[in-house]
Amino acid sequence: MNLLQPLVLIVLVLGVALTITAYLTWLERKIAARFQNRVGPYFVGYPHGWLQPLADVVKLMSKEDIVPFHADRFLFNLAPYLVMVPALLGFAFIPVADKLAVVDHPFSLLFFLAFASLSLLGIFAAGWASNNKYALLSALRMVAMLASYEVPLVLSLLVPALLAGSFQLTAIVEAQRALPFVLKPVVGQIAFLVFLIAALAEGNKSPLDLTEAESELIAGYNIEYSGMKFALFYAGEYAHTFAITGLAATVFLGGHLGPAFLPGWIWLILKMLFVFLLMLWVRWSMLRLRIDQALMLNWKVLFPLSLANLFLAAYWVIYRGGAA
Amino acid sequence: MKTTEDVRIVEKEFGELALNMGPQHPSTHGVLRMVLHLRGETVARAEPVIGYLHRGVEKLSENLGYDQLAPIFERDDYLAPTANSLAYVLTVEALAEIEVPPRAKYLRTLMAEMQRLTSHLVWLGTFGLDLGGALGGGTTLFMYCFREREKFLDFFEAWTGTRFHTNLNLIGGARYDLSDALRRRAEQLIDDLERILPELRSMTGDTPIFQERTQGVGVIPRDLALSVGVTGPVLRASGVPLDLRKVAPYDAYEDVAFEVPVRTTGDAYARYEVRMEEMVQSIRIIRQLLENLPSGPIFSRKPLKNPRALRVKEGEAYRAVESPRGELGFYIVSDGSWKPHRLKINAPSFANLQVVPHIVPGHLVADVVAILGSLDPVLGDVDR
């Protein structure tokens, strides 16, 4: 029994996460279409093409698996998994109910971030191994971008940890029982905003999608990938984004907490979708920044802002005498 | 012209990366190929390579009758087809001394201005794609611009039967008349566009990201603009107020009041502003044309039966129009037979593309795309 329970939990969390990730692609296409006066997928599956993700998977599976000439075969084949697996591992740390997460470690917030950063390796490996100049440029951009955006991301995530007095995600959720951290005056809002912007960069979303930069680098690191390997990248990116929104919902919006008429995990998913929609809204209405401008935004605006915000939060905590 | 061998040596000696941008690339606006020599992400040298869309219309035109040619030239600059055939028929009319009835002049001008609007809408949409990419706000802007353009194309279909290559221009007149109902529809159309333009502006020029990406990017100083010979909005964004509609009016441009928008900074943002202003002026011109549309015939010659019947007397002539991209001219040498002896097209996109190697070095790869987008080349026009 003791062994079975975590296993069931893993299967449940992973199953729900993967299903939702698949449907996020459909959701994004539908919503983007609405932004643009279009209809979006419509013909595969009766109401509003709901079978489209399935059709996409079938199509991608039936495609030829091409490894480019002179590519580093080992790295080339490994890279999609290096992107997909860490993204899915992130879900393990998200609390789905009271004191319940697949892995409820005292430092689960840091573990989440560590795994989220691992996908960088996969993307860099893909760019390097493809033997393609565009992919290489994209991989180099990726390192510059993520290495810098990780800083404000972590700094803004330290604020909830500080307010809750713990790195344990379940404890952070518990600390928000009275008030979600996003509603904490000033510090909470700044931290959430900085986190959202950094998450756009982490998840490769416009206006900070420089790694993919379709108009310059033609999709960047995954330019040489096709078929299922491409699908893994694609799904990995969405899983990564979804995990990040899960983190946002957990540390800022109170995670699974909510009025009792809905179960906790539904609240969690709703909050995640809310954050995802926020990101979509930004993504589909903004143009892209240039690489130097993006880094400038990070080091000159987000980094000082999040650092000052962290000090403000620390002062608040000390002034109030211990964690809120 | 560098060979591939040279490029390889350059890479080894100076640590430059030679990147082939195009001819299959989403942001080169067709089949332009750019060989970029990068140091890091900064461009050290750029060579545009053209010729991937060469169709030899100039040679082809030596074997077809005068009346058969106008539709072929409409395929050159495929974003503003009517400007090509208009320049052509103006040249032949000058050569053959054919008079054009005033109503036909107005109709041809009307079509030219409407296609200037559709062409600029395509430019704005694709500029959004260049700056924003297919998976972001760029596509949204693109869709909005194409939605507006689609209304015009529907109008063209109602007027001429074709959405795009309208074939309105004939030597000696216009092919399709404009009914009163269509005239009211055209008025409605430009009223709608006038309402939408501020919306498009608020998505582009008024946003900080757009300004960051375009201001100070791809600056063409006035001297460089004049020495390279750029034309159209690119020239006017560099502070030279040269617009053929003003300095050498053709068709109905003498009868309408409009201003020539000019900017002096010469960067991508200035070119954006000039084109946006031009759209406002085009709306103004169209409104005047619709208001003062004279009545009368639209064709001054006998009905066309044999396309080879038209014989043009010996001589040569050059006439140019202000296409959405600049001075588009035709130079025709006639030997007195039923077909041109020699025909040369002076294409604005070709002239504007010449400036690329001068202004691109020193910019980042992302800026190359922004610069190309702001020059608005049409490869059908470059290669002909």
Domain count, chain B: 2
Site of tokens 């002239």? B351
Site of tokens 């990068």? B38
Give per-residue pLDDT as tens, B46-86. Answer: 888 888 888 888 888 888 888 888 888 888 888 889 999 99
User: What is the domain partition of chain A in residue ranges?
Assistant: 16-62, 66-320
Q: Is A103 within 8 Å of A90 (Cβ atoms)?
A: no
At A267 the pLDDT is: 85
B115 and B45 in a common domain: no
The torsion region of residue B173 among left (phi > 0), alpha (psi -120 to 50) and beta comes to: left
At A261 the pLDDT is: 80
* Interface contact B27-A216, CB threshold 8 A: yes
At B9 the pLDDT is: 44
Distance from CA of A189 to the nearest CA of B (A): 22
Rounded CA separation B36/B47 (Å): 7
Whether residue B155 is predicted with pLDDT greater than 90 in this model: the reply is yes
Q: Show residues of chain A in contact with B214, CB under 8 Å.
A: none
B41 and B84 in a common domain: no
- Say yes or no: B22 contacts chain A, CB-CB below 8 A: no
At B156 the pLDDT is: 92
Look over chain B and give the mean of its residue pLDDT values, rounded to a whole number. 86
* Interface contact A287-B213, CB threshold 8 A: yes
Which residue from B129, B203, B212 is facing A215, i.e. has the nearest CB?
B129
- The phi and psi torsions of A74 (rounded to 5 degrees) equal -65, -55
- The phi and psi torsions of B311 (rounded to 5 degrees) equal -110, 130
CB under 8 Å to B297, separation ≥6 — which residues? Answer: B101, B103, B104, B173
| A73-89 vs A4-35: helix crossing angle, rounded to 10 | 100
Segment holding B226, helix H or strand E:
helix B222-228
Q: Is B369 within 8 Å of B26 (Cβ atoms)?
A: no
List the one residue out of B86, B78, B155 whose CA is nearest residue B123.
Answer: B78
B322 and B229 in a common domain: yes
Rounded CA separation B178/B167 (Å): 14
The tokens of A254 are what? 């109170």
* Interface contact A290-B364, CB threshold 8 A: yes
| For residues B190-200, average pLDDT | 90
ipTM of the complex: 0.79
B336 and B190 in a common domain: yes
The tokens of B137 are what? 């706000």
Q: Is B217 within 8 Å of B370 (Cβ atoms)?
A: yes
Q: Is B384 within 8 Å of B343 (Cβ atoms)?
A: no
CB under 8 Å to A36, separation ≥6 — which residues? Answer: A284, B139, B140, B143, B144
Segment holding B45, helix H or strand E:
strand B42-49
Rounded CA separation A187/B155 (Å): 55
Rounded CA separation A149/A156 (Å): 11
| For residues B263-270, average pLDDT | 90
At B10 the pLDDT is: 45
- Say yes or no: A30 contacts chain B, CB-CB below 8 A: no
- Say yes or no: A288 contacts chain B, CB-CB below 8 A: yes
CATH of the domain at B287: 1.10.645.10
At B11 the pLDDT is: 46
Sequence letter at residue B92:
V
Which residue from A137, A287, A293 is facing B138, i.e. has the nearest CB?
A287
* Interface contact A290-B212, CB threshold 8 A: yes
At A208 the pLDDT is: 74
The torsion region of residue A136 among left (phi > 0), alpha (psi -120 to 50) and beta comes to: alpha
Whether residue B264 is predicted with pLDDT greater than 70 in this model: the reply is yes
Distance from CA of B20 to the nearest CA of A (A): 9
Distance from CA of B137 to the nearest CA of A (A): 4
B72 and B32 in a common domain: no
Question: How would residue B281 be classed by pLDDT, with cut points 50, 70 and 90?
Answer: very high
Distance from CA of A64 to the nearest CA of B (A): 21
Would you give per-residue pLDDT tens digits along chain A (324 residues)? Answer: 577 777 888 888 788 878 888 888 888 888 888 888 888 888 888 888 888 888 888 888 888 888 888 888 888 888 888 888 888 888 888 887 777 777 778 888 888 888 888 888 888 888 888 888 888 888 888 888 888 888 898 888 888 888 888 888 888 888 888 778 777 777 788 888 898 888 888 777 767 777 676 777 777 788 888 888 888 888 888 888 888 888 888 888 887 877 778 787 788 888 888 988 888 888 888 888 888 888 888 889 889 999 998 888 888 888 876 554
Sequence letter at residue B241:
P
The tokens of A305 are what? 């802002």
Q: Is B53 within 8 Å of B30 (Cβ atoms)?
A: yes
Rounded CA separation B351/B220 (Å): 14
Q: Is B371 within 8 Å of B360 (Cβ atoms)?
A: yes
Whether residue B366 is predicted with pLDDT greater than 60 in this model: the reply is yes
Whether residue B14 is predicted with pLDDT greater than 80 in this model: the reply is no
At A323 the pLDDT is: 52
| For residues B197-225, average pLDDT | 87
Q: Is B193 within 8 Å of B281 (Cβ atoms)?
A: no
| A303-320 vs A187-202: helix crossing angle, rounded to 10 | 140
Rounded CA separation A275/A115 (Å): 20
Site of tokens 């960069």? A201
Percent of chain B with pLDDT over 90: 26
- The phi and psi torsions of A111 (rounded to 5 degrees) equal -65, -45
Between B108 and A321, the more confident residue is B108
| Contact pairs from chain A to chain B, CB under 8 Å | 110
* Interface contact B212-A289, CB threshold 8 A: yes
Question: How would residue B134 be classed by pLDDT, with cut points 50, 70 and 90?
Answer: low
Q: Is A218 within 8 Å of B28 (Cβ atoms)?
A: no
Q: Is A22 within 8 Å of A235 (Cβ atoms)?
A: yes
Whether residue B302 is predicted with pLDDT greater than 90 in this model: the reply is no
Question: How would residue B121 be classed by pLDDT, with cut points 50, 70 and 90?
Answer: very high
Give per-residue pLDDT as tens, B343-362. Answer: 999 989 998 988 988 898 88
How many helices, marked H, and strands, marked E, lie in chain A?
Answer: 12, 0
* Interface contact B367-A292, CB threshold 8 A: no
* Interface contact B136-A209, CB threshold 8 A: yes
- Return the CA Rg of chain A: 20
Residue of B nearest to A216 (CA): B366
List the one residue out of B36, B47, B48 whose CA is nearest residue B11.
Answer: B36
Rounded CA separation A21/A23 (Å): 5
Domain that holds residue B18: 4-49
- Say yes or no: A287 contacts chain B, CB-CB below 8 A: yes
* Interface contact A290-B128, CB threshold 8 A: no
Substitution target from B17, B124, B140 for chain A, most A beta carbons within 10 A: B140
At B112 the pLDDT is: 92
Between B203 and B238, the more confident residue is B238
Rounded CA separation A151/B224 (Å): 44
B85 and B225 in a common domain: yes
* Interface contact B41-A218, CB threshold 8 A: no
The tokens of B229 are what? 């010979």
Whether residue B27 is predicted with pLDDT greater than 70 in this model: the reply is yes
B339 and B276 in a common domain: yes
A33 burial (CB, 10 Å; 0-12 / 13-18 / 19+) is middle
- Say yes or no: A283 contacts chain B, CB-CB below 8 A: yes
Between B217 and A323, the more confident residue is B217
Whether residue B12 is predicted with pLDDT greater than 70 in this model: the reply is no
